[in-house]
Amino acid sequence: MKYHFIGIGGIGMSALAMHLASEGNQVNGSNYEENERVDYLRSKGVSVFIGHSYENLESPDIVVRTTAIKQGNPELVKAISKSIPTIYRMELLKSLLSRNTSLCVTGTDGKTTTTAMVSKILVDSGRDPTVFLGGINPLLNDGNYRKGNGITVTELDESDGFFASFKPDYAIITNVRGDHLEHYGNSFDNLKVHFRYFSRGVRKLLVTNADDPVSERIFKGSLTFGRDRG
């Protein structure tokens, strides 16, 4: 398959691009500026254009975008005009997670650190996880990505409501605080509804923060962790 990523230099997009390339797919993309992830992708053989242009889009089978890419983006306009399927980053991530046993780490704070810690435990215990991280960590082979043959572990961004549709086997919710409310009608209650909906889709085990009063109220029957209570 041929994939084109619009905004390939982002943390989440670059990890997905590396994963697809590691599976033998043809992957390229564009980014509005040079950055460390762009350089790293190029070192792995992924072609990256700087700037968004109609000419950047050749003949991919699928175009991957983020919610930050506006409808007038020339590459998106061309993809639509050529009837090339376009998917959001989170849709691609959800599809990849469905192939394997999955563990999602979400919540308002501490997602990246928690994901890295869980990944380190799994690596050291011989579980060989595939990891998608929302930051750079030297414990991972590629900074924000690790290819493995075991469970898939991902940091799951709650900045828009799409995360609530994920149905992982295992999940950790670090805490729930009123952040990114502009994507939830400026309503903390609406954000809490999305977290509750996500929690009900967890297939095997949900782990939540016993020290977080919001989590204590909205997640019932979960395994808990905490400094004062666990």
Is 36 an annotated catalytic residue?
no
Q: Are 131 and 148 in contact (CB under 8 A)?
A: yes
Q: Enumerate the β-bridge partners of residue 64.
A: 5, 87
Q: Dig out the tokens for 78 from the structure.
A: 């061309």
List of domains in the chain:
2-92 (3.40.50.720), 100-225 (3.40.1190.10)
Is 106 an annotated catalytic residue?
no
Q: Tell me the pLDDT band of 207, cut-offs 50, 70 and 90.
A: very high
Average of pLDDT values for 56-77? 96
Is 55 an annotated catalytic residue?
no
pLDDT tops 80 at residue 229? no
Residue type, 110: G
Q: Tell me the pLDDT band of 50, cut-offs 50, 70 and 90.
A: very high
Average of pLDDT values for 168-177? 98
Q: Tell me the pLDDT band of 228, cut-offs 50, 70 and 90.
A: confident
Question: Average pLDDT of the chain?
Answer: 95
Using alpha carbons, select from 158, 163, 18 the residue that is nearest to residue 94: 163
Using alpha carbons, select from 59, 50, 64, 71 the residue that is nearest to residue 14: 64
Give Cβ neighbours of residue 224 (< 8 Å, ≥ 6 apart). 207, 208, 209, 210, 230
Q: Per-residue DSSP letters for 191-227? A: HHHHHHHHHHT-SSEEEEETT-HHHHHH--S-EEE-S
- CA atoms of 22 and 7, how far apart (whole Å): 19
pLDDT tops 70 at residue 230? no
Average of pLDDT values for 101-117? 97
Q: Which of 25-29, 108-112, 179-183 has the lowest mean pLDDT?
A: 179-183
- Number of alpha carbons in the 13 Å side-chain half-sphere of residue 202: 23
Which residue is catalytic, options 94, 154, 155, 208?
A: 155
- CA atoms of 181 and 188, how far apart (whole Å): 7
Which residue is catalytic, options 86, 106, 111, 208?
A: 111
pLDDT tops 90 at residue 96? yes
**pLDDT of amino acid 79:** 98
**pLDDT of amino acid 42:** 98
Q: Are 43 and 14 in contact (CB under 8 A)?
A: no
**pLDDT of amino acid 161:** 87
Which residue is catalytic, options 2, 66, 101, 112?
A: 112
